[in-house]
Amino acid sequence: MTNSNHATYNQSGTVLLLALLVLASLLGSSIALGSLVIGNLQQAKNIDDAVMAYYGAESGIEKKVYDIRKSDTFTTSTSDTLSNHTGWTTTVRESGELVIDFLQKDKSIGLDLYNFDDPNPGAGIESVYITWQGGTTWLEIKFTEWSPGSNIAWPSQQEVSALKGTFIYSGGLATNNSLVSNKAYHMEIKALRGDASDINLNFYDIDDGGPACSNNCVKVNVPNRLEIDSTGTYGKSRRVIRVNMPRKTPMSSLYEYVLFTERSLTKGAGEL
């Protein structure tokens, strides 16, 4: 009789132990599943917040570009909060380096190396250090030079040709020492023999400027170029957008092409 009761007690203890193990397994699985679901929900919220922060930063860029282009005024730092609680802060400074992402073969781009807001001082540039990618691609560099001032005495075409020639470089690296610090310039860059990418231009206050000159030279900010950083915030998310742009709207490329025809070109008044 005693042995039978003892066996019953042993079976009851085993069932209770198994039940506890099953409950512990279910509880652990539930906790793991709950943590996974909560993590996914938090990740989805973070993505949503990041998207809102990105569009906030984009709004800051658009507002700053509008001020510069339309109102012709801007402040170095601006911040605002939108109605959906998205905030943005923008800072504007002169660009220390100019990067041209891509330049197609036989295409050119123009750069204004003078201060639109104050035409009196020179660009302060003595040399340009250029690097680019493109294998066998060459770069053709041209400069138009004039003496800055409130009343500009433009040189004749013959004087321009005599002052500044055309420079052609290959090998993905070049230094041009033809500039004078008290002059203002318009610079043209053209890709020859192929496409050029990742064109980096750095301007220095002495000849032979570049990484090798170390402390003997000072990098000059790119005249007429602005760098805008816009930081958008929403919740705990932050996103930053950076834009490099000319201070003024560049002139249209009126002389980037030539028309050849065997007939005379006429334009009637009714076609204007």
Please report the domains of the chain, with CATH numbers, ordered by start residue.
97-220 (2.60.120)
- C-alpha 232/C-alpha 28 separation (Å) is 40
pTM (predicted TM-score): 0.65
pLDDT in tens, 51-85: 999 999 999 999 898 888 887 777 788 899 988 89
Q: What's residue 157's pLDDT?
A: 56
Q: What is the pLDDT of residues 188-220, one digit of tens each?
A: 999 999 999 999 999 999 888 888 776 678 888
Q: State pLDDT tens for residues 156-176.
A: 555 554 456 688 999 899 999
* CA 147/CA 185 separation, integer angstroms: 9
**H/E run at residue 99:** strand 98-103
Q: Could you report the per-residue pLDDT of 98-155, keeping only the tens digit for each? A: 888 999 999 998 888 887 777 788 888 999 999 999 888 999 998 888 888 767 666 5
What's the confidence (pLDDT) of residue 272?
Answer: 44
pLDDT at residue 226 is higher than 50: yes
On the CB side of 257, CA atoms within 13 Å amount to: 5
Q: Mapping DSSP to helix (H, G, I), strand (E, B) and coil, where does residue 93 land? A: strand
